[in-house]
Every structure is written in structure tokens, then in C-alpha cells.
Amino acid sequence: TIKGFAFDLDGVLADTARFHSQAWRQIADELDIPWTEALESGIKGIDRMSSLMLILNSKGVADNYSDEEKEALAKRKNDHYKELISTLTPDDVLPGMHEFLADLKANDLKMSIASASKNAPFILDKLQISDYFVGVVDPSKVKQGKPAPDIFAEAAKILNLPPEQVVGLEDSEAGITSINDAGEISVGIGDALQLHAAKINFPSTKDVTLAQIKAHLNW
């Protein structure tokens, strides 16, 4: 039976995917790299430097930049992103998620955070939801980011549960792959075609309920 939930943060709990996009888009504009739907969804879930590489490679210009220049671009994105997230309040918890977290807690289900973001603790604090979680994966301490299983595997360890007793929630393709390969039950939130590898799918955060998940899993 299911005993724990591992949450992605950006785009699942926090309305911050738009800020990642906005901050990267500004860098892309400066570098004359066209912003596309593929970039918009491709940067979801993958770490900061992988996002920059995806953007540079979309125009085949990654080799034009030294490692130092890439570090500087990634830092500039993060400085802009940090400005944007400094305005977050509890109202920026995505629709339905306050209720979902409270329901899980009332049912004694354990929760952890499986985000690739180094800004996750700051965001949880701003949203005032840190106390729901027994722990937050430190992405700088895992070998490989999403789509590798490491981050979701670590989130189950934090819960002290075997992966098959853990449900993972994600809005990105990379994240769904990470959940599935960690041996957990994947819940995709967003476009069902794009997140087709998810075991269960919800169009939006407001559709996610414990009752629905239980019904899908015959639990």
C-alpha cells in the first residue's frame, strides 16, 4: 500500500515554472535564440546548466561559449529568477495543492520534496508549506539530475519507504521518467499526451485529490 508522496516543486506545488521560463527567455533573447514550445517544456525538471545547454543547443551555438561564459549566463538567469521568486506568497501555491497537502497530512501520509532546484528551500519557506515535509532532497548531493532516477530515489529514502510505497508527482517529462525509473508510482500533472509515460494523469493541479489517486490505484 502507499505510505508516502514525493513532490516535484516547480509547476506542481509552486507557480514558478513561469518564472523559470521568463528568466531563461530573457537570456535567450539577448543571445538571439528563438524561444520555442520545445524549450518551454524542455527546461522543465532539468537542472540549471542542462537548461542552458538545451537553449544553446537549440541553435547549435553551445561551442561558442567557454565554461566561464556559461557559468556567467546561468548565474545571471538565477539572479533574475531569485528576484522574481522574492515576491512569492502563500497565494502562489498552485490551485488545489493546499487542500491536497492537508488531506495527505490528515491521513498520516509522509511527504518529501524531489526538486532539481537549489532554490527549493527558499520557495517552500515563502509559500509557508515547509512544515508538511519530512525532508527536501538536496540536488547538489545526488549524482545525476532528472531524467535519471536519483532525485526521486533519494526522496523515497528521506521518507524511509521502499519506492513501491511512494507516489511521485510531476509536471515534466524528465520528472516522470525519474519517478518511473526509481520504481515509484508516477502521477503526471498537465498535458496527458506529453506526460504519456505517467501511470495516472491529471490535467491540472486542481484535479489532484487523494480520493482520485486511491480510485486509480484500487488502494
* Residues identified as active-site: 8, 10
Tell me phi and psi for residue 39, to 5 degrees.
-70, -45
Out of 2, 7, 8, 19, point to the residue binding Mg ion (CB under 5 A).
8
74 annotated ligand-binding residue = no
Q: Is 180 helix (H, G, I), strand (E, B) or coil?
A: helix
* Contacting range for ligand G6P; rule: CB under 6 A; set: 55-63, 116-124, 130-138, 177-185: 116-124
Out of 7, 10, 100, 177, point to the residue binding ligand G6P (CB under 6 A).
10
CB contact at 8 A, 11 and 171: yes
Amino acid, single-letter form, for residue 161: L
Q: Is 154 helix (H, G, I), strand (E, B) or coil?
A: helix
72 annotated ligand-binding residue = no
String marking each residue 168-187 x if it binds Mg ion according to CB under 5 A? ---xx---------------
Q: Give least dist CB 214 to ligand G6P, A.
A: 27
**Taking the CB of residue 78, how many other CB atoms lie within 10 A of it?**
16
Residue ranges in 134-193 that form contacts with ligand G6P under rule CB under 6 A: none
105 annotated ligand-binding residue = no
DSSP string for 158-171: HHT--GGGEEEEES
Q: Give least dist CB 20 to ligand G6P, A.
A: 4
**45 is a site residue for ligand G6P (CB under 6 A):** yes
From edge to edge, which strands make up the β-sheet containing 110-113? 135-136, 110-113, 4-7, 166-170, 185-189, 200-202
179 annotated ligand-binding residue = no
Out of 59, 75, 105, 118, point to the residue binding ligand G6P (CB under 6 A).
118
Q: Give least dist CB 48 to ligand G6P, A.
A: 4
Q: Give least dist CB 185 to Mg ion, A.
A: 17
Rg for the chain, CA atoms, rounded: 17
String marking each residue 59-98 x if it binds ligand G6P according to CB under 6 A? -------------------x--------------------
**Taking the CB of residue 194, how many other CB atoms lie within 10 A of it?**
16
Cis peptide before 34, with omega less than 30 degrees from 0?
no
**119 is a site residue for ligand G6P (CB under 6 A):** yes
Return d(Cα 140, Cα 79) in angstroms, integer.
18
**115 is a site residue for ligand G6P (CB under 6 A):** yes
Alpha-carbon dihedral sign for residues 212, 202, 145, 102: negative
Q: Residue numbers of the site for ligand G6P (CB under 6 A)?
A: 10, 20, 43-48, 51, 78, 115-119
